[in-house]
Every structure is written in structure tokens, then in C-alpha cells.
Chain A
């Protein structure tokens, strides 16, 4: 570890040069190694892998750490054509969203859009019916924005002063009912994203509705 000069321990005839430092270095290597092993155990690779194998499992897990599973799922579908349904009660309005290649998907996508443009508050917060209706209106705008990125940015700039950069849809966002608001669940299938009222989802027996 040392040539002896730096870590010489004085005052004790039997002290070897750099002995304490060597002990500390070896202990540090051991602790860091144990940390790495423990980290691997805590990484939840298994859970992420299961999510990959079964996207619906990822959908119903109200877990914000779905990095590997959801980003993979998102990436796999980038460039695909999605239909977004905001399902509130008997209504089943929909709007087609075209997602050009390279556009990002996120597990906060719709809600991120909602937060950014209709100010729903925190992305884990409540989504009241009025906001949900507005979100539905925005879904049409999303479609329009997505057609031409540049055009959308410029048009948005003219209207709002801030250009819209993205259009995105979402998988598996669970919006907890934090009081007064309507709880919405998002479901994803091969080419469709459903944003479903939790009560309706429960009646339909959809997974995660009871959670």
C-alpha cells in the first residue's frame, strides 16, 4: 500500500509502517464489495424482469420504480399508432394519437401532459372530473400536435407562448384518490391506452381496480 514513509506509525517500536492504513484500505474494499453485492440483491432485477415478461403485471403495480420494464415496453411501441380512450362512466370518447419514431413514452406521459398543460398538480395527485374532461379535450390537441412536431411547436407558441414539444401516451399510471377527485387507472393493450375510471374498472373486473 505504501512505501512506508507516508503512513509510518511512530511511538510504538512494534508498529509497522502503514499498518493502520492497510487495515482501513482492506476494510474499505471489503465494505464496498459487500455494498455491491447487497445492491445487486436490492436492485429488484427479478421483479423488473417479471414486469418485462408480463406488462400487465407492471400495469397494476402502483410502483414508481418500473424503469426497466416500462421503458422497454415504451420503447417497443415507439412509432406505433395508439388510441387513447378516456373512459368516464358510459362515455367512451377516443382520439387517435400518432406517435412518431423517437417520441418518448413515459409512465407519467398523459399525466405529465396534464400537469404541464392543465395543471393537475403533482403527478401523483388527484384528477378531478373537470380536469379529466379537459384532459379529454387535450387528447385531441395531442393528436394535432403530433402530426408535425415543428408546426405543433410553432402553433403552440402562438397560442400559449410555450411550444409543445411532445405528445405522448401512457401505460399503467394509477392516480390515487386523494380526496374529492376521481381515481383513474390506465391500461395498456397492444395498440390502445385506456384511462378508466376506477369505479368502472372495478365493475368490469379489470386488474388493479381494487387496489
Chain B
């Protein structure tokens, strides 16, 4: 008898509990967010236990997560919404418990399939969890701590309670969450004032394009962090974007804040990757400053906790480790600095800084190999990546069509605050080649190549950005429209509130959206179930 259905249902239920504490009750939200949120909370608590002078164990981490969620529910306004406990309890018994039950049954079914793939890399990622459990604290092994990191080991550690090595069904459940998250973001973003005739067709086509790719299913059964990072990057970009559009309350930023912690301890390159996501968030005028502060704070604290708190125990450094830590610290400092920039200057920076950063990464990806004598490495990496995208990487037709679609759509339509999506997407490519130089190892031809697996990090983000731009983007004026039209269009780009015209039209029809401070609607929010 395995404990895994119970464990995964518990993680889902704990995530749902936190969502209920945040006032979220829609069914689709629990499908999309419960498992990623519960998992991120588990990893965040694990990070705390590793850093603090408390013996780490998977059981203790789960207990602390349960206590955190219980305390959140106890304090939430929803708990006392009607003077009784029935509000929150009812919400938990409803979609949360139903979804947790589905998770439990699904886990049994997935275990029966035996599709899960564990490679040598998976072993090494999982191994850190064993080291932490055995030592009760950080390990001294540089390879495990720096290259493999905490996420996979901590996420799968509960499986030991059932005397198993890993959670067989975790990755497949994350794929369900990933697809549900894409659908949820698109549906939540829909303004009630606009009828999106093609929304469903577009969603179905986009999800089908993702689900039919060979590598999507590989990641769905692969014990590693790629799919989880993909889900979290989507949430880190999309939820602040939705908060900026006033369709989600600022307190929902807790979900991407936890996601940031998970990503920081999930990938060695996470600090630089997260900086690409945080930069446009910091510069966006529509996102409330407390939300920005919370996200940057989560980033800085988790970077410091992991790199300065846990990894300090490493006694045998690899060549890349000091550089990684320096980059991590720099990312945290830059993020905090941007937070302090006055709003006027921030608006000016918004017009050039993202382009400068992405362009700088591109120049760096070319200059660093030249400066360090790694030109051959860069050439091999580019050739291998091209071969992988052309077919050897088994991504199917996605590499052929998705980038072209993104470029074409971006030339015709402009999404308000779209920088939250395009900056990480554009910056990811040169960053990946910089990583090849940093690790002194070229990418190789084959589906198991590192970069070929890392495309999963940005796939969900790319697809969601495409769909959102198609549904909510403003038409850019074409040359045929004449100069007057373009001048007028530019004038419409920002409003007196600094919001997109699209938002203003929505706000004109929705009084609650006009308020600067988000308040919960008196009735059930118009969101899909």
C-alpha cells in the first residue's frame, strides 16, 4: 500500500487551503494552482528548515506547511465572512476537496501506468533530499548544492514517508496544473465587457499544440524541475499582469512570491532568469507597489537564504560557483535598487531598460565566448540547438511555428504591460548561451540536451503570451493607416491612470475596477469555474 495518493492529495489540499485563505474559490483555480502552490510552500518551508538551526526532515516540513495553512485560514477574512466558519469550510469542502480527491485517484492511475522516467540526472537531483534528511541540514557536496539545488529533493522528500524514492505522479499532476493555469490565466483576463468569440478555439488550438509535442509528455513523466519551473515562471509573470489589470486582488501575489522561492532553489541560473521576469514587473506602472515589493522581497530573501545561508556549507567549490553566487547577489541588489527608483524615473526607464537588458544579454552571449576563447563552444552550441529545434530535440513543429507566430502577432498587436512576458522570453535565448559559456560545456544534439530540456521553462509563458496578445492586444497602426493615425494611437497608449486603454474601457463598465485599491466584490467574482 503506497502513501503517495495521500501525500499528493495533502499537498494539493494544503495549496487549496492557502488559496481559500486568499479568497479564491473557483474550481479551475484549484486545478491550476493548488498543487503548484502547495508544492512551492513545501519547498519554501524546506528552505527555511535547511537554513535555520532546525533539523530538516520531510515530515517536519509537511507539518510546518500544514500549520502555516491552518494559521492563514484562521486569520483570513473569508473564514469569518458570515460570522461563522461555514464560508471557508464550505469552500474547502467544495472544489478543494473534490480536486484533492481527483489528485489521489489520479495518482493511483498514474502509478499504474509506470511511465515515469528517472535518469542519472534525476538521481542526482533527488540525492540532495537524502543528504538533507540524513544530515538534518545542508550538505558539503558542491555538485549537489550548487548544480542540483533543493527543489527536486525537497519536493519528492515526502515520498520517503512511504519508503519510496520519489513521487511518481508529481510531474504528471504538474502538467495538468500547467494546462489548467494557461486556461485559467486566459479566462480570468477576459473582461466582461468584451465578447471574445474566438477565445475557446484559440485556447483549444494552443493547448493542443503544446500537448501534442513529444517533449511535453517527456517532461510530464520526467523526475526533474523543468516542468515545475515552467509553471512557476508562467505564474510569476501572469499573476502580476492580472493584478495590474485589476482582475485579481493584490494578495494573490503570494502565489508568484512562493513560486519565486521555488524557482530560486530549483535552477542554478534562476537568479538571472528571475531578474528578467522581475525587471518589467518593477517597471510596470499598473502593478501596485506593495505587490512589487513583495515579489522582489521574496526573490532577494530566497536568494540570500539559499546562496548565503545554505550553500555556504559547501567546502569544495566548483569553478562556476563563485560566479553564480555573484550573479545571484547582483540580481538581488539590482532588483532592490529598481524598487527604490521614483515613479517618474521608473516610467522613463520603462521605455529603454528592458531593451537594454535584453540587448545586453545578446551582446554578452557573443562577447563572452570571444573574450574567454570559447568561440568554438558557442558555435557548437548554436549548431546543436539549431539541430534540436529543427527536429532532433523532438519538439515537433512547435519550434517552427511558435516563434514565427509570436513575432507576427507582436508586429500587429500590442499587449498592455506585455513586457512582463516578452522580456523573459527574449532574454532567455541569449541567457541560455551565456550559461553554456559559464559552465564551459557546449550544448549537444539530442532530446536530452540541457537547453533542449530548458525550453520547457518558457513554453507555457510563450503560449500564454501569444493567446493573451491575440485576445487583448491593441492593433498597432499600419503604414497604410497614415501618420495621423499612428500619432493618435501613440496618444492612446497611456491614460491618465497610466493604464492601458483596454483597461479603461473595462473599468468604465466595471466600477470596482476603477478603484485604486482592490476590494473584494460583494458577490461571487465573474470568473470561470
Chain A interface residues toward B at CB < 8 A: 1-3, 5-12, 18, 20-22, 24-29, 31-40, 42-44, 64-65, 67-68, 71-72, 74-76, 78, 102-108, 111-113, 115-116, 123, 149-150, 153-154, 157, 161-163, 165-166, 168
> A26, B166: Cβ atoms under 8 Å?
no
Q: What are the residues of chain A within 8 A of B505 when measuring CB–CB?
A: 5-6
> B502, A6: Cβ atoms under 8 Å?
yes
* Interchain nearest-CB distance for A34 vs B (Å): 7
> B115, A21: Cβ atoms under 8 Å?
no
| 4 closest cross-chain pairs (CB), A and B | A75-B114, A112-B120, A39-B396, A39-B212
Measured in the bound complex, the distance between the Cα atoms of B217 and A40 in whole Å is 12
- Residue of A with least CB distance to B166: A104
> B115, A75: Cβ atoms under 8 Å?
yes
Q: What are the residues of chain A within 8 A of B345 when measuring CB–CB?
A: none
Contact for B119 among A8, A21, A108, A157, CB less than 8 A: A108
| A/B interface sample: 22 pairs, CB < 8 A | A2-B194, A10-B481, A11-B481, A20-B412, A20-B478, A21-B412, A21-B473, A32-B206, A35-B398, A39-B209, A43-B212, A43-B213, A44-B214, A71-B115, A75-B114, A102-B168, A108-B119, A111-B120, A115-B120, A153-B130, A162-B144, A166-B123
> A3, B214: Cβ atoms under 8 Å?
no
Q: A42-B396, A166-B123 are in contact. Are A103 and B165 (CB under 8 A)?
A: yes
Q: What are the residues of chain B within 8 A of A107 when measuring CB–CB?
A: 119
> A104, B116: Cβ atoms under 8 Å?
yes
- Residue of B with least CB distance to A67: B218
Measured in the bound complex, the distance between the Cα atoms of B478 and A74 in whole Å is 57
* Contact flags B117-128 to A (C-beta < 8 A → 1, else 0): 111101110110
> A29, B205: Cβ atoms under 8 Å?
yes
Q: What are the residues of chain B within 8 A of A111 when measuring CB–CB?
A: 120
Q: What are the residues of chain A within 8 A of B319 when measuring CB–CB?
A: none
Measured in the bound complex, the distance between the Cα atoms of B488 and A201 in whole Å is 76
> A67, B397: Cβ atoms under 8 Å?
no
Q: What are the residues of chain B within 8 A of A71 when measuring CB–CB?
A: 114-117, 221
- Residue of A with least CB distance to B115: A71
| Stretch in B60-68, B324-332, B402-410, B431-439 touching the partner | B402-410
Chain B interface residues toward A at CB < 8 A: 2, 113-120, 122-124, 126-127, 130-131, 134-135, 139-141, 144, 162-166, 168, 193-198, 201-202, 205-206, 208-209, 211-214, 217-218, 221, 223, 391, 394, 396-398, 400-402, 404-405, 408-409, 412-413, 446-448, 466, 470-475, 477-478, 480-482, 484-485, 488-489, 501-502, 505
> A34, B391: Cβ atoms under 8 Å?
no
> B117, A3: Cβ atoms under 8 Å?
no
Tell me which of A33, A37, A165 has the highest count of chain B C-beta atoms within 10 A of its own C-beta: A165
* Interchain nearest-CB distance for B483 vs A (Å): 9
User: Chain B: interface secondary structure?
Assistant: helix
Q: What are the residues of chain A within 8 A of B221 when measuring CB–CB?
A: 67, 71
Measured in the bound complex, the distance between the Cα atoms of B2 and A67 in whole Å is 24
Q: What are the residues of chain A within 8 A of B195 when measuring CB–CB?
A: 3
Measured in the bound complex, the distance between the Cα atoms of B127 and A125 in whole Å is 23
> A10, B120: Cβ atoms under 8 Å?
no
Q: What are the residues of chain A within 8 A of B397 when measuring CB–CB?
A: 34-35, 38-39, 42
User: Chain A: interface secondary structure?
Assistant: helix
* Interchain nearest-CB distance for B6 vs A (Å): 15
Contact for A42 among B139, B144, B391, B477, CB less than 8 A: B391
> B475, A33: Cβ atoms under 8 Å?
no
Q: Kindly list 18 other residue pairs between chains A and B, CB separation below 8 angstroms, not including A20-B475, A116-B127, A154-B134.
A: A1-B198, A7-B474, A18-B475, A20-B478, A22-B198, A24-B412, A26-B198, A28-B466, A28-B470, A29-B205, A31-B404, A43-B396, A65-B394, A68-B115, A72-B115, A75-B116, A123-B120, A157-B131
Q: A6-B194, A64-B447, A102-B165 are in contact. Are A11 and B119 (CB under 8 A)?
A: no
Contact for A12 among B124, B194, B209, B481, CB less than 8 A: B481
Contact for A10 among B123, B197, B473, B488, CB less than 8 A: B488
Q: What are the residues of chain A within 8 A of B197 when measuring CB–CB?
A: 1
- Residue of A with least CB distance to B193: A3
> B213, A39: Cβ atoms under 8 Å?
yes
Q: What are the residues of chain B within 8 A of A123 when measuring CB–CB?
A: 119-120
> A76, B114: Cβ atoms under 8 Å?
yes
Contact for B474 among A6, A10, A112, A161, CB less than 8 A: A6
> A162, B218: Cβ atoms under 8 Å?
no
* Interchain nearest-CB distance for A5 vs B (Å): 6
> A36, B165: Cβ atoms under 8 Å?
no
Q: A32-B405, A33-B208 are in contact. Are A162 and B412 (CB under 8 A)?
A: no
Contact for B118 among A42, A65, A106, CB less than 8 A: A106
Contact for B113 among A2, A44, A75, CB less than 8 A: A75
* Interchain nearest-CB distance for A161 vs B (Å): 7
Measured in the bound complex, the distance between the Cα atoms of B206 and A112 in whole Å is 36
* Interchain nearest-CB distance for A142 vs B (Å): 13
Q: What are the residues of chain A within 8 A of B394 when measuring CB–CB?
A: 42, 65
Measured in the bound complex, the distance between the Cα atoms of B201 and A74 in whole Å is 38
Tell me which of B391, B401, B408, B484 has the highest count of chain A C-beta atoms within 10 A of its own C-beta: B401
Q: What are the residues of chain B within 8 A of A106 when measuring CB–CB?
A: 117-120, 122
* Interchain nearest-CB distance for B188 vs A (Å): 18
Q: A35-B397, A67-B218, A102-B164 are in contact. Are A25 and B198 (CB under 8 A)?
A: yes
* Interchain nearest-CB distance for B485 vs A (Å): 4
> B120, A116: Cβ atoms under 8 Å?
yes
Q: What are the residues of chain A within 8 A of B474 when measuring CB–CB?
A: 6-7
> B120, A165: Cβ atoms under 8 Å?
no
Measured in the bound complex, the distance between the Cα atoms of B492 and A8 in whole Å is 12
Measured in the bound complex, the distance between the Cα atoms of B404 and A15 in whole Å is 26
Contact for B127 among A27, A76, A162, CB less than 8 A: A162
Q: What are the residues of chain B within 8 A of A33 when measuring CB–CB?
A: 205, 208-209
* Interchain nearest-CB distance for A100 vs B (Å): 8
Measured in the bound complex, the distance between the Cα atoms of B484 and A15 in whole Å is 15
- Residue of B with least CB distance to A66: B117
Q: What are the residues of chain B within 8 A of A10 when measuring CB–CB?
A: 477, 481-482, 484-485, 488-489
Q: A7-B474, A104-B118 are in contact. Are A116 and B123 (CB under 8 A)?
A: yes
> A162, B163: Cβ atoms under 8 Å?
no
- Residue of A with least CB distance to B402: A35
- Residue of B with least CB distance to A72: B114
Q: What are the residues of chain A within 8 A of B139 when measuring CB–CB?
A: 162
Measured in the bound complex, the distance between the Cα atoms of B223 and A103 in whole Å is 13
Measured in the bound complex, the distance between the Cα atoms of B396 and A44 in whole Å is 10
